[in-house]
Chain A
Amino acid sequence: MPRYAMEVIKKHKKTIAIAAFFTFVLLLTGSLFLFQGLTTKNAYFFFPRRLSKIAAVLLVGYCVSYSSVTFQTITNNRLLTPSIMGFDALYLFIQTVIVMFSGQKKIAMMSGYTNFFVSVFVMIICSFGLFLILFRGREKNIYFLLLTGTVIGSLFGGLSSFMQVLLDPHEFSILQNKMFASFNNVNQNLLQVSAILVAVTMLLTVRDNPYLDVVSLGQEHAVNLGVNYRRVVLKNLMVTAVLVSISTALVGPITFLGILVVSITRKVTTTYKHTARIAMAFLTSSTLLVSAMYLTERVFKYSAPISVLINFAGGIYFIYLILKERKA
């Protein structure tokens, strides 16, 4: 069907052009990051480390993109991202508890398998528990769930700031490392485990995209069209919980990226199809993260954390959007 293919290309010309541009920037910054300054002598040391950072970025980029795009679909709201469920607050709470009670083994506890699995496990159990308890009733809607998530999130936020006050400065400085997203200390083994977990969720969700397309019409239309709405929503919330937990435990609080990525994607994607929107969001987040990582490491020499750069760029983008909307 070449004619049909031509029509699709023509209709989504803008989207395809922007996707090509992002791919170009991604490849450019990615290869700069990977190859700049490599010599035959140091390559064996630097190259695998850089490669694993890129892998971590792509993994986290996928987690954030998939969860943010689909979260807006199931909540039928374009301003919400999974961060409203308080995952970051819960993560910081877990870290604070670990620092507070792990005694002599603090440093060891703060990195490696134990921390990762404890964090992922607690976050997933908490969110599954929340979903299952709150989603069982017949008349409950998803906003009730989100509101509860928000309240519980601020409870954890409050608890962890209280506990942080009790820490001594040395303990607090250990904790502080965990409070900002960073791709520098990603453990290779953890990266493999995360990649496997994420691959499993990909397999589980590979057929969901057409159903999500229907859910984006709203609950009543979805039910009318024969979609098991509650099952799609519940499954999606669980997958989101897994993805957000993995990415947060791997690199730290990163959900702030979601709103930026998903708005850019919405702005530049002309199709409603989730397959395309998730792919575009993945491309956007990877491009943003790789560029930001390149800038943090090579240009600013670690003087600014990656979240500062991304929030700075995101802030400028939002101001631009507001100004543009006002003129229109």
Chain B
Amino acid sequence: MIRSENLVKSYGEKVVLNNVSLNLPKGKMIAFIGANGAGKSTLISLMSRIVPKTEGCVYVDNKELQQWNNNELSKRISILKQSNHLNIRLTVRELISFGRFPYSKGRLTKKDNEIIDKALSFLSLDNIQHRNIDELSGGQRQMAYIAMIIAQDTEYVFLDEPLNNLDMRHSVQIMKGLRKLVDEMNKTIMVVIHDINFIAYYSDYIIAMKDGKVVSQGYTDEIITKEVLKEIYGMDIDVQSVNGKPICLYYN
């Protein structure tokens, strides 16, 4: 389980994350929502030790981040951030094989190759596995990075805007894939996604943030309501039920 206590992040005088204490339920798809600058990305960066925290504690399986051996921790949690710029030429398969680094330190075993094959077919990347990353479209590239995280095979997965710049087809494919990871392999996936309807449709649990603080959290049907959304976004959002799933109409 991942838990944070009084987590604070400040850059100089500016506090971007203010005393966040959270208990993240296990085996769920957890979505972080909130306006731009609410501190969602900062929060998941701190929880995954990509960015050093200013104050507070993060516990992964009841052990504080600093007490974890870095390599062991990378077998428990993984994170994928928004901007991924590569300075080297890699094929899709080579990129995904980096996900096995915590286990094999660059010398791939037979088992590693099997897991890489699985990750490839999980996101239907088999037919482009020998293409270079820089020749791919934005969507394919994003899928390749997600496949790398899948190959890392961690209990907890953080994804910062995984649907950024993707079309509907790729977005749905990725969300279905993530759903499958949660339902079939019992992983805990934490995502920052801006499209509220993707969240309403796919996530189990929602954490809503505003101005560096958690303003409300709960299961999807508790959060996706007119009142709560009004508080988070300051907008009147009409919530309709379509085929038993909430759909938000926020266009006017």
Contacts and interface: CB of A to CB of B under 8 A. Distances in A.
Interface of A: 72, 76-78, 138-139, 209-210, 213-214, 216-218, 220-221, 223-228, 270, 272
Contact of B98 (A76, A214, A220): A214
Contacts of B11: 139
A210 B87 CA distance: 16
Contact of A226 (B73, B85, B88, B94): B73
Nearest to B158: A224
A281 to B, nearest CB: 14
A160 B74 CA distance: 49
Given A77-B87, A220-B81, A272-B90, A138 B52 contact: yes
Contacts of A228: 70
A200 B88 CA distance: 29
B78 interface: yes
20 contacts: A76-B87, A77-B87, A139-B11, A209-B106, A213-B98, A214-B101, A216-B88, A218-B85, A218-B87, A220-B50, A224-B78, A225-B74, A225-B102, A225-B152, A226-B70, A226-B72, A226-B75, A272-B88, A272-B89, A272-B94
Contacts, number: 62
Interface string B161-193: 000000000000000000000000000000000
Given A78-B87, A213-B106, A228-B70, A221 B98 contact: yes
Contacts of B98: 213-214, 217, 221, 225
Interface of B: 11, 48-50, 52, 70-75, 78-81, 84-90, 94, 98-99, 101-102, 105-107, 152
A223 B49 contact: yes
B87 A226 contact: no
Interface of B is mostly: loop
Contacts of A272: 88-90, 94
A269 to B, nearest CB: 9
Contacts of A223: 49-50
A250 to B, nearest CB: 31
A130 to B, nearest CB: 22
Interface of A is mostly: loop
A226 B105 CA distance: 10
A272 to B, nearest CB: 5
A1 to B, nearest CB: 10
Contacts of B50: 220, 223-224
A210 B85 contact: no
What 10 pairs across the A-B complex have the smallest Cβ distances? A226-B74, A210-B106, A226-B71, A226-B102, A272-B88, A225-B101, A226-B70, A216-B88, A220-B50, A224-B79
A293 B42 CA distance: 55
A208 B166 CA distance: 36
Contacts of B152: 224-225
A227 B70 contact: yes
A76 B84 CA distance: 12
A217 B107 CA distance: 17
A151 B226 CA distance: 57
A224 B74 contact: yes
Contacts of B86: 217-218
A78 B86 CA distance: 11
Given A209-B106, A225-B99, 17 more contacts: A78-B87, A210-B101, A213-B106, A214-B98, A214-B101, A218-B84, A218-B87, A221-B84, A224-B48, A224-B74, A224-B152, A226-B70, A226-B71, A226-B72, A226-B73, A227-B70, A272-B94
B68 to A, nearest CB: 10
A210 to B, nearest CB: 3
A226 B101 contact: yes
A138 B55 CA distance: 13
A72 B106 CA distance: 20
Contacts of B90: 272
B40 to A, nearest CB: 16
- Which of A138, A139, A210, A226 has the most C-beta atoms of chain B within 10 angstroms of its own C-beta? A226
A99 B193 CA distance: 65
A214 B72 CA distance: 16
A315 B89 CA distance: 25
B130 to A, nearest CB: 9
Contacts of B75: 226
Nearest to B154: A224
Contacts of A77: 87
